[in-house]
Amino acid sequence: MTTEDNAATAKLEKMTANLAKIEALSARLMAALAQKKLSDPGVQGPGQEIYMKAAAAYLAGMMQNPGKVLEQQIAYWGKTMKHYVEAQAALASGEIRVPADPGPKDRRFSNPLWDTHPAFNYLKQQYLFNAEAVQNAVADLESIDPGDKKRIEYFTKQIVDMLSPTNFLGTNPDALEKALATDGESLVRGLENLVSDIEANNGEVAVTLADREAFVLGENIATTPGSVVFRNRMLELIQYAPTTKKVFQTPLLIFPPWINKFYVMDLKPQNSLIKWIVDQGFTLFVVSWVNPDASYADVGMDDYIREGYLTAMAEVRRITDQAQINAVGYCIAGTTLSLALSHLYRAGDTSVKSATFFTMLTDFSDPGEVGVFLDNDFLDGIERQSNADGMLSKTFMSRTFSYLRSNDLIYAPAIKSYMMGEAPPAFDLLYWNGDGTNLPCKMAIEYLRGLCQDNGLAEGTYKVFGHKVSLEDIQIPVCAVACETDHIAHWRGSFNGFKQMGSADKTFIVSQSGHVAGIINPPSKGKYGHYTKEGDVAGAPDDWMAEATFNQGSWWPSWGEWLAKQSGKQISARIPGDSGSPVLCAAPGTYVLNAQKTPTD
């Protein structure tokens, strides 16, 4: 037998073995899919009404201006026929060449075969023609509410993106090339990845974005030294160990969002906002929220304010023996900090000296991209599902936010994992992104209905402990940091809410980049700059930006200077436990590990 025969035999044996693995994995796949629980249709997609509105608007356009619709169709048909004729001519010439490709570059089609192979090029160009035609038709819809049109545009784009030829094995040259090069091994690994993800998510398809085994909290992520110095059913309070001999007298307390875990601010020492704050000489406390289960179903926003905000503030004052603290609220925690500050003002409580808000919305009259999920079709479904489960599952929230960037957070990772058979990367930020939390049923509905949908805080109708609160009640010095390309809390919306606060001392900063990267932007990287402007925070956000000054580098030092002015004199550094308050355990604590035992201390 020749060397070639031996190689062919080995190849055949490898492919046969891979086929056997695929058969076994297919059985596992069916068993994993069977674990999926039925969920309310309202959390799976928009209601039928939006499709009816789109169809009615399109038909109305046809009746009112048939020439315009016909023009669109003829332009689409013309491009399609011209492309077909050019492709046929190229094939008939006997040359392996493709027709001219004048369209803009799309990183989904980066494989050279999309530009050089006639079949793949035809698929790509025709898909882009189809996508353009559909999106143009939606953009030209008239006689429709602007809010409905925005939702139709968004969900149309989701469908168009889903149908990209890159998302299907038979039309993805990268996946096909790798399958041939590995004798099918990549497809086996991809199926293993798919089955593992479905098994890990109880029948749901949710692609793993980062290696789950690459990080251990407290060992190679969330490692800034500190101690848990207080615990109740809602939170663990972490006091971080000082790194300077002297510290500012007024302590700083950060409330992170309870939609995610706090350690996004402490991924590694090089980009840790927590470590940077400590290194600047601030006594830092950070709340680590509990990850609620169904037993927290009746916990509402008032409970978060009472047992979370007010309790943590009181503990920090007690531990440091200070009458006042500075506070930070991040995302939804910033919105809730606004509620708490309004309540404190009306109660005559001056225990908060200044407040900072990261990527926060308080005025939801224009909620940005997230607004497509705030109509009754989704919220009714979320309410029914949350009442049934006792909580709003992290699965639904994670999926919603991922679809705001579906090509980056769903399709591209799925292609690499399931079609290419690649292992997820050891990426700390993506690891954190996949380590989500649930929301208590009552709190989730109060937030979505009362604050997001009804815009209760900006309208002055939302109640805390039975009394209405208002942005005008926030009279202390305040600073807000928004992010220029934030798709969750857009900077214009953040500006519009922030300017309504009653404080005479308002500082607004816009960081380059998005919801996370814009905040976690250490000075050492010199990556993203920020915008600042002296004077009042008033008028239209775009007018503010037109007059703002661009500053190279991170916003952290600018904020640090502002915070130092609110923090009093320098005193000897405080050590966790030196006040007589017991140290319960080392940071990052137990709640971040999903421990949900009701504490006895």
* Residue 597 DSSP one-character state: P
**342: which 2 tokens?**
């309004």
CB 412 within 8 A of CB 267: no
Catalytic annotation, pick one of 331, 452, 479, 483:
331
CB 352 within 8 A of CB 317: no
Q: Report DSSP letters for 121-175, one per residue.
A: HHHHHHHHHHHHHHHHHHHT--SS-HHHHHHHHHHHHHHHHHT-GGGSGGG-HHH
With CA atoms as reference, report the closest residue to 184 among 33, 23, 27, 30.
Answer: 23
**Single-letter amino acid code for the residue at 30:** M
CA atoms in the 13 A half-sphere facing the CB of 546: 6
User: With the C-alpha atoms ordered 330, 333, 335, 339, is the resulting torsion angle positive or negative?
Assistant: negative
416 — phi, psi (to 5°)? -65, -40
491 C-beta neighbours (distance < 10 Å), count: 26
CA 193 vs CA 36, 198, 414, 488: distances in Å? 17, 9, 9, 29
CA distance 57 to 53: 6
CB 210 within 8 A of CB 427: yes
- Any idea which residue has 């004048």 for tokens? 102
CB 45 within 8 A of CB 154: no
With CA atoms as reference, report the closest residue to 577 among 196, 269, 260, 239.
Answer: 239
| Strand-pair category, 252-255 with 284-289 | parallel
With CA atoms as reference, report the closest residue to 312 among 297, 302, 327.
Answer: 327
Q: Report DSSP letters for 429-464, one per residue.
A: HHHHHTS---EEHHHHHIIIIIIIIS-HHHHT--EE
Q: Is 479 a catalytic residue?
A: no
Catalytically active residues, by annotation: 331
